[in-house]
Amino acid sequence: MVESLARDLVCIDCGAVSPLGYRLECDKCRGLLELRYDLDRLRAKGPALFAGPGLWRYAAVLPVGDAAHRVTLGEGGTPLLECPRLARQLGVRRLLLKYDGSNPTGTVKDRTSATAVGAALQFGYTATSVVSSGNAGSSIAAYSARAGLRSLIFAYERASAPKLLHMSATASDLIIYKGVYDDLITLWDRLVEERLFFDCGASRNPYKHEGKKTLAYEIAEQSGWAPPDVVVAPVAVGETFIATARGFRELRDAGLIARLPRMVAAQATRANAIARAFRDGTAITPIKIGYTVAEGLAAGSPGRKGDWVLRLLREHDGLAADAEDQEILDAQRLVARAEGIWAGPTGVATVAVLKRLLEGRQLDPAQTICAIISETGLKTEAALPSREGTAFDLDSLRRLVVERLSGRGRPG
Amino acid sequence: MVESLARDLVCIDCGAVSPLGYRLECDKCRGLLELRYDLDRLRAKGPALFAGPGLWRYAAVLPVGDAAHRVTLGEGGTPLLECPRLARQLGVRRLLLKYDGSNPTGTVKDRTSATAVGAALQFGYTATSVVSSGNAGSSIAAYSARAGLRSLIFAYERASAPKLLHMSATASDLIIYKGVYDDLITLWDRLVEERLFFDCGASRNPYKHEGKKTLAYEIAEQSGWAPPDVVVAPVAVGETFIATARGFRELRDAGLIARLPRMVAAQATRANAIARAFRDGTAITPIKIGYTVAEGLAAGSPGRKGDWVLRLLREHDGLAADAEDQEILDAQRLVARAEGIWAGPTGVATVAVLKRLLEGRQLDPAQTICAIISETGLKTEAALPSREGTAFDLDSLRRLVVERLSGRGRPG
């Protein structure tokens, strides 16, 4: 069994150190906490510390000590795909897509669900809860079921049909809430204090957060420990972005990679509080948002995690931008046709933003760029093509095929 | 680069040997062909021949020689999940689910799409085609796009919404056909002879077929080369079943595993031509079928592959059975709630059949049983829970949570 190198918790604001335990913020200043590891040990042992497939390959740098608590549905180990055709269309030398739609419930959320539900077991909880636009809800419900825990899933009323079906099949308790994520999350975050259930939200819990750090470890290992120059990550509240940035920082601090990739925060224009603050050089002003096709990015009030994203962007030469819903839908189709990768709007917002940044010459097209695709397209609800079918005989079938192909199917 | 050990093609009926090439049946007797490999080399080198992640880890025993033709979206390498809770509910000592819903397009079909489209490139084709209930169509379209090939996808008019959306996004040409698979496949199979496109159907092409063999290689390797006693595979035309059985046979012939698992063929009762023939001890009588919730199993006339399945079952002490649509839907919910695994009806038919066989004492509950889950639940179209949302204040939120959990969320 691989031991966890987790050592303590550090406040990102005042630097105060707390012992490991189920803590959501700093006792001294109420700042957010991050887990700290024995990186000397990581430096000494190197990749030999990593063993087995998927997310728990990186158990050494995750905060779940007992292997019996390492709940899994086979998350992580997702492909890092070279995309030469899409690269040409976007005008960039080399493009990699980290396709996290291959996770068990079809999204990057499974990484955090594994460590959240693992930590719930570790701290003796028997129920979990989350407020979700759909993806986190499906994922936490699935991992809770897998671990035999009760799950109270609060789901967005406009969540897509596949997400709703998924949640109703796997959650022990599914509750549909009125309005958007922002409308419920503040109340729910207050209720978390009462410890009726384990916090599986994105606002504070450092144990939940941690699973997504494996994105950085995988991208680095799949690149032979020479990660891409730029990594584009989606940002709603900031969980994926921060965790990925932290992962790269640990890898650099432990000497496993030579330098940090430049991180780009990708938002939907309809929920662009962080991109806007970055552009304007101001603090974040929460915005009142409505619907965006990138359902999973629909947060207008990203709270303290949003501030953390902004700080990481400013301290490390990052970049933030957003894309309109139509650009996101165009990117969805582009990625599907150019590379056969079917991702949801939430998942391809990174590509829409990347396209904008390349067109605006805000990124160097000679660099190697990696975009995180956070979601499969199978959770998309959209207008269907007509289901009216044609009945064929051999002649009409041949005619159709010949007409469509115009002789192009034959070997040359 | 790992070399392919593919050596020639052998007729499964008359045993005639043909050189490697794009051939769909035996020149002498029109029997189906299977690929044969240099198993002495596999025996000599052992698992050292396998390298890298996913399906192409097993490139040595796949028929695509040139690495440039090994098209990939990250298929294969899917989890083999221990399912103790479901095992208890079904009354079996040890149950493993091979969850192939984690493939890039959410189904086992990606394994055959990788080798089909790889072979299309190998033989110089620029267009592919397939007749599909939805899963194969999505998958062949995606892999064709990935390889830059044109794809003519014939899709079932009752394919689920997520499958239709997927196909319309990735196919170059999507054609909806009237009726079920059986109504079109005979005509389309005749058209294949004219070589206007590369055959990506399930009826004959041994190159396409071959990708699913990796199911056996993965199950064996993930079990430390001591595979489960029983493997339950879904059967429509028989591609998954035959390929998996062939994989285990190769592994045994090369000395990598000591004995063959017992293979169980799982069908939907509404499309049970093979299970019926097996039970009655007769040849297969094609049946006229209608709709089954297990869309991917909707074939009433499985053709020569069906005969092959029956032969394998009879020669190797196999077992075949079927489950009613309601049993399949019950299994879908059971697997979701007991283990957090959300699979489609096509995907869980194996579990429904397994439940029947255990209840009927046709399988030994003291054995280790593995069921292949061929499809994610995200492609399911079904009645939705009400989307009517509740607006909360802190008090009403707390009341709801306390009521639901009745104090059960606290650590004990």
CATH number at A80-106+209-379 = 3.40.50.1100
Judged by CB atoms closer than 8 Å, whether chains meet at B388 and A173 is answered as no
- Chain A residues whose CB is inside 8 A of the B345 CB are none
Judge: B129–A401 Cβ closer than 8 Å, yes or no.
Answer: yes
ipTM: 0.96
Cβ A125–B195 below 8 Å, yes or no?
A: no
pTM listed for this prediction: 0.96
- B359-385 residue pLDDT tens: 999 999 999 999 999 999 999 999 998
Question: Cβ B101–A104 below 8 Å, yes or no?
Answer: yes
Q: List own/partner pairs for B46-55 with CB under 8 A and 24 or more apart.
A: B46/B256, B47/B221, B47/B225, B47/B256, B49/B2, B49/B5, B50/B2, B50/B217, B50/B221, B51/B2, B53/A77, B53/A79, B53/B77, B54/A79, B55/B110, B55/B111, B55/B114, B55/B211, B55/B214
CA B379 from centre of chain: 15
CA distance B39 to B255: 9
**Quick one: pLDDT band at residue B407, thresholds 50, 70, 90?**
low
By C-alpha distance, the chain A residue nearest B408 is A126
Choice among A262-276, B169-183, B247-261, B344-358 with the minimum mean pLDDT: B169-183
Nearest to B113 by CA among B86, B90, B80, B143: B143
Interchain contact, B105 vs A390, CB within 8 Å: no
pLDDT at A407 over 70: no
B340 → closest Cβ in A73, A123, A184: A73
**Every domain of chain B and the residues it spans:** 80-106+209-379
Q: How far is CA A76 from CA A37, A109, A213, in A?
A: 21, 10, 11
- Report yes or no: B373 and B341 within 8 Å, Cβ to Cβ: yes
A409 vs A316, higher pLDDT: A316
3-state secondary structure chain A: CCCCCEEEEEECCCCCEEECCCCCCCCCCCCCEEEEECHHHHHHHHHHHCCCCCHHHHHHHCCCCCHHHCCCCCCCCCCEEECHHHHHHHCCCEEEEEEHHHCCCCECHHHHHHHHHHHHHHCCCCEEEEEECCHHHHHHHHHHHHHCCEEEEEEECCCCHHHHHHHHHHCCEEEEECCCHHHHHHHHHHHHCCCCCEECCCCCCHHHHHHHHHHHHHHHHHCCCCCCCEEEEECCCCHHHHHHHHHHHHHHHCCCCCCCCEEEEEEEHHHCHHHHHHHHCCCCCCCCCCCCCCHHHCCCCCHHHHHHHHHHHHHCCCEEEEECHHHHHHHHHHHHHHHCCCECHHHHHHHHHHHHHHHCCCCCCCCEEEEEECEEHHHCCCCCCCCCCECCCHHHHHHHHHHHHCCCCCCC
Q: Which residues of B touch A412 (CB under 8 A)?
A: 124, 126
> Which of A98, A170, A176, A379 to mutate to probe the B interface, most B CBs <10 Å?
A170
d(CA A204, CA A209): 8
Residues of chain A in contact with residue B102, where contact means CB-CB under 8 angstroms, are 74, 102-104
Cα separation, B173 vs B85, in Å, equals 44
Q: Contact B135/B379 with Cβ under 8 angstroms?
A: yes
Residue B353 has pLDDT above 50, yes or no: yes
Q: Are A234 and A241 in contact (CB under 8 A)?
A: yes
Tell me the CB-side half-sphere exposure of residue A126, using CA atoms within 13 A.
Answer: 9
Q: Give the mean model confidence (pLDDT) for residues A166-186.
A: 93
| Best of B85, B157, B218, B405 to mutate (most A CBs within 10 Å, chain A) | B405
From the list A74, A174, A195, the residue facing B102 with the nearest CB is A74
Q: What is the pLDDT of residues B20-79, one digit of tens each?
A: 999 999 999 999 999 999 999 999 999 999 999 999 999 999 999 999 999 999 999 999
pLDDT above 90 (res B254): yes
- pLDDT attached to residue B266: 98
Chain B positions in Cβ-Cβ contact with residue A183 (cut-off 8 Å): 391
- Long-range pairs, A285-289, Cβ under 8 A, ≥24: A286/A182, A288/A182, A289/A180, A289/A182
User: Residue A412 pLDDT > 50, yes or no?
Assistant: no
Across the range A398-410, mean pLDDT stands at 80
* A397 min Cα distance to partner chain B (Å): 8
* DSSP-derived 3-state class of residue B245: helix
Q: Which residue of B has its CA nearest to A412?
A: B124
For residue B412, what pLDDT is reported? 39
Question: Has residue A410 got a pLDDT over 50?
Answer: no
Inter-chain CB proximity B127 and A386 less than 8 Å: no
Classified as helix, coil or strand, B12 is coil
Chain B residues near residue A175 by CB distance under 8 angstroms: 390, 400
**Cβ contact A144–B340 (<8 Å):** yes
Average pLDDT, chain B: 96
Confidence of residue A48 (pLDDT cuts 50, 70, 90): very high
Averaged over A131-149, what is the pLDDT? 96
Q: Which of A129, A145, A376 sits opposite B340 (nearest CB)?
A: A145
- Mean pLDDT value across residues B100-110: 97
Q: What is the pLDDT of residues A318-342, one digit of tens each?
A: 999 999 999 999 999 999 999 999 9
Q: Quick check: B81 and A74 CB within 8 A?
A: yes
| CB under 8 A, 24+ apart: contacts of B358-365 | B358/B90, B358/B91, B358/B92, B362/B319, B362/B321, B363/B92, B363/B230, B363/B264, B363/B319, B364/B229, B365/B91, B365/B92, B365/B93
Q: Which residues of B touch A200 (CB under 8 A)?
A: none
pLDDT of amino acid A411? 45
Which residues in chain B have Cβ-Cβ distances shorter than 8 Å to A390?
175-178
Span of A130-134, A163-167, A404-408, B114-118 with lowest mean pLDDT? A404-408
Report the chain A residue with the minimal C-alpha distance to residue B192.
A398
Q: Which residue has the tokens 């959770």?
A: A379
Residues of B in contact with A332 (CB under 8 A): 169
Cα(B268)–Cα(B350) distance, integer angstroms: 9
Residue A275: name the closest of A213, A208, A229, A324 by CA.
A324
Calculate mean pLDDT across residues B272-286. Answer: 97
Please determine, for residue B409, whether its predicted confidence score (pLDDT) is greater than 70. Answer: no
pLDDT tens, B167-219?
999 999 999 999 888 889 999 999 999 999 999 999 999 999 999 999 999 99
pLDDT at residue B411 is higher than 90: no
Chain-chain contact of A336 with B170 (C-beta, under 8 angstroms): yes
Contacts of A166 in chain B (CB under 8 A): 342, 377-378
Whether the predicted pLDDT of B410 surpasses 60 = no
- Residue A187 corresponds to which tokens in the numbers above? 């109340």
